[in-house]
């Protein structure tokens, strides 16, 4: 079996159904909440943390075991704690409704699998071993957690700011692509790591141009500033 890596979006628009209320279900619920998912738990029991999430309105809860039909209006299904019969039934319903489902530790009943995830701001990196050696994926995650510092998150914050202006101002896709690589390969990330944000902005402006920086709000419009100075100067000289 081979896996095709993909990321899910808009998990806040439809429910994510999660079966189970044990420690593993709590861990997976926490991960889903960190990505903004709208989580509905179906379980007869919950951990104290999961009950706290229910009490604070972070998740919703059906206090019973899964029943066929529970997957209506659902985007994604995770079975974290289940009996063999429930696993078979929830997998059957999910496949009938063409839903994405992960029955944890049971690949034959799933059509998706979780990787070990490292997050740094808006950067998300995941590792998968195609279910063959999950412990290796965990060790890779631990290694990269130490290497991916907050400079990458800061860089992606800048990228988010300039992305729309870049698409609007630099219309040639080949030029855009070349500049993205030039920027990523520059010392911008190193400057951010060293706390030299202004120099990082200077480098960004040298690559993308002042117009992009002004349109993104990262640099003021020099024309506006010149006009402001003219007005202030005229007040003192009139």
Parse the chain into domains and list their residue ranges: 1-114, 115-147, 150-237
What would the mean pLDDT of 15-37 be, rounded to a whole number? 96
pTM: 0.75
Structure tokens at 28: 């997976």
The CATH number that domain 115-147 falls under is: 3.30.160
Over the stretch 171-192, which tens digit does the pLDDT of each residue have?
A: 999 999 999 999 999 999 999 9
Q: Is the per-residue pLDDT at 225 higher than 50?
A: no
What would the mean pLDDT of 208-227 be, rounded to a whole number? 80
**Please, which pLDDT band fits residue 144 given cuts at 50, 70 and 90?**
confident
Over the stretch 4-17, which tens digit does the pLDDT of each residue have?
A: 888 899 999 989 99
| pLDDT value of position 226 | 45
Architecture of the domain delimited by 1-114 = 3-Layer(aba) Sandwich (3.40)
CA angle 80, 63, 92 (to 5 degrees): 45
DSSP 109: G
């Amino acid at each position: 079996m081979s896996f095709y890596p993909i990321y899910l979006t808009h998990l806040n628009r439809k429910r994510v159904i999660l079966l189970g209320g044990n420690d593993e279900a709590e861990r997976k619920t926490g991960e889903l909440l960190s990505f903004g998912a709208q989580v509905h738990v179906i379980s007869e029991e919950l951990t104290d943390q999961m009950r706290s999430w229910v009490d604070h309105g972070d998740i919703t809860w059906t206090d019973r075991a899964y029943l066929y039909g529970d997957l209506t209006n659902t985007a994604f299904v995770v079975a974290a704690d289940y009996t063999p019969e429930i696993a078979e039934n929830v997998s059957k319903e999910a496949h009938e409704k063409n839903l994405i489902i992960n029955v944890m530790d049971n690949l034959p009943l799933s059509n998706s699998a979780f990787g070990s995830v490292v997050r740094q701001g808006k950067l998300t990196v995941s590792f998968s071993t195609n279910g063959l050696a999950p412990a290796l994926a965990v060790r890779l995650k631990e290694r990269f957690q130490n290497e991916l510092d907050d400079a990458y998150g800061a860089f992606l914050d800048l990228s988010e700011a300039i992305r729309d202006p870049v698409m609007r101002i630099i219309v040639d896709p080949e030029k855009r692509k070349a500049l993205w690589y030039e920027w990523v390969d520059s010392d911008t990330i190193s400057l951010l790591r060293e706390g030299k944000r202004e120099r990082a902005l200077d480098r960004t402006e040298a690559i993308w141009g002042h117009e992009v920086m002004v349109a993104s709000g990262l640099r003021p419009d020099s024309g506006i500033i010149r006009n402001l100075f003219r007005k202030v100067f005229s007040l003192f000289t009139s």
